[in-house]
Structure 1
Amino acid sequence: MPKRNHDAAWGPLVAGVDEAGRGPLAGPVVAAAVILPAKGVPRGLDDSKKLTAKVRAELSARLHECARVGIGIVEPEEIDRLNIYWATMKAMTLAVDALCADGGCAPGHVLVDGNRLPRWSYVATAIVGGDAKSPAIAAASIVAKHRRDTIMIAASESHPEYNWHSNKGYGCRHHMAALREYGPTPLHRRSFAPVAQASLPL
């Protein structure tokens, strides 16, 4: 679990940023930016991959109540146009921009999970493994993962054959079999090789 005092070293109004959905074959890439409150931070913040879906949902709801949260979403069509790297950078930028919307002020420092930063004007630091080191990044990872999972579960109702409610768009065996049988949907990333190959005529 990240140490609470880690973020304080970066000054006031520290925002953590993380994304979910770089690797799937379908669905958007989602980024979240979170500025935690000075007091009342929910217990149990951690790398979202270490938490159950139920715990992520509970923590995400609590974070929306007590913290400042910004969300950035880039859809599959734009992922195909930009490529997944630049789409991820755009989602992160949109998430931090959302913190400044509706009268909010810009964060004093942005901590980004990973080793690359978007091209933006914010003072920022990239931290490899940041979701295990920074409470704000851990919070962002939870919010981003929960939001993206919610999107894919809803999309599964319109495309049940792909089992997205379970695999969330990742290329598991069931998803790959459905892709070969039914072909890609508008939610598939056609620039990704397995989807492009499934689009070719036999």
Structure 2
Amino acid sequence: MPHLRHEKLCLAPVVGVDEAGRGPLAGPVVAAAVILPARGVPRGLDDSKKVPATERARLCGLLHARAAVGVGIVEPSEIDRLNIYWATMKAMTLAVENLVAVAGVDPGHVLVDGNRLPRWSFAATAIVGGDGISLSIAAASIVAKHTRDTIMVAHAESHPHYGWHSNKGYGCPAHLRALREHGPSPLHRRSFAPVAQSVRLAAESFAPHPSA
């Protein structure tokens, strides 16, 4: 279970950072940055993949009420322009910048899930598997995942073919089948191979035959 041992070795305030949405074919990549409260840390924080959706929603609400939270969102068009790695780094940077604006204080240290750090001036440590180790990163994991899932469920209302209410934009068989049948939406990441292939197939189907 996540703990505070890493946080206790760092200069306060300690910020936990994590992202959600690197792998999907559609929708934004979302990062969250969280400074946990000195008292009243919600119980049950863990790697968001291990927490049921209803519990993530509850914990996210508690974190917004009790902690300092910043969120960074990078949309699909910018993911295509930057590539997913740099888009993720930008989302993390935006999350920390928004947190600083909310908290009114610079981080003493930032703990980031993964093995890479954005190009920022703050003291920071990357922790592989950090969302299952650091309580601050676990909190950020919950906020990032719930925020992104909420965005994708909202988009599912206007793009019902792709099943985003359940797959959240990941490339499950039903989503891939819908891409083949309907082509990509404006929220699809055209730099991702399955989406690029659907764009190419759609273009070929409308191209005039050489003998025409």
User: 2-side partners of 1:53 and 1:102: how far apart?
Assistant: 26
> Paired residue for 1:94?
94
Instruction: State the 1:104 CA deviation.
Output: 1.2
> Paired residue for 1:174?
174
- Note closer, same or farther for the CA distance 1:138–1:102 as it changes in structure 2 (3 Å cut): closer
Deviation digits for residues 116-135 of structure 1 (CA, Å, limit 9, x no counterpart): 00011111000000001100
User: 2-side partners of 1:57 and 1:94: how far apart?
Assistant: 22
User: 2-side partners of 1:174 and 1:119: how far apart?
Assistant: 38
> Paired residue for 1:105?
105
User: 2-side partners of 1:146 and 1:92: how far apart?
Assistant: 16
> Paired residue for 2:37?
37
| SS of aligned partner of 2:19 | strand
| SS of aligned partner of 1:199 | helix
Deviation digits for residues 64-102 of structure 1 (CA, Å, limit 9, x no counterpart): 000000000000000000000000000000000001115
Instruction: State the 1:4 CA deviation.
Output: 2.9
User: 1-side partners of 2:158 and 2:14: how far apart?
Assistant: 39
Between 1:8-17 and 1:181-190, the stretch displaced more is: 8-17
Which aligned segments of 4 or more residues in structure 1 are displaced greater than 3 angstroms?
Answer: none
Between 1:155-164 and 1:4-13, the stretch displaced more is: 4-13
| SS of aligned partner of 1:101 | helix
> Paired residue for 1:142?
142
Matched AA of 2:65:
E
Q: Is 1:188 the counterpart of 2:188 in the alignment?
A: yes
> Paired residue for 1:153?
153
Instruction: State the 1:6 CA deviation.
Output: 3.2
Residue ranges of structure 2 left out of the alignment (5+ in a row):
206-212
Q: Report how many residues are paired.
A: 202
TM-score of the pair, normalised by structure 2: 0.93
Matched AA of 2:124:
A
TM-score of the pair, normalised by structure 1: 0.98
Instruction: State the 1:48 CA deviation.
Output: 0.3
Larger Rg: 2
- How high is the sequence identity, in percent, across the aligned residues? 73
User: 1-side partners of 2:91 and 2:6: how far apart?
Assistant: 25
What is the RMSD of the two structures over their aligned residues, measured on CA atoms?
0.9
User: 2-side partners of 1:115 and 1:4: how far apart?
Assistant: 19
> Paired residue for 2:84?
84
User: 2-side partners of 1:97 and 1:183: how far apart?
Assistant: 36
User: 1-side partners of 2:163 and 2:126: how far apart?
Assistant: 34
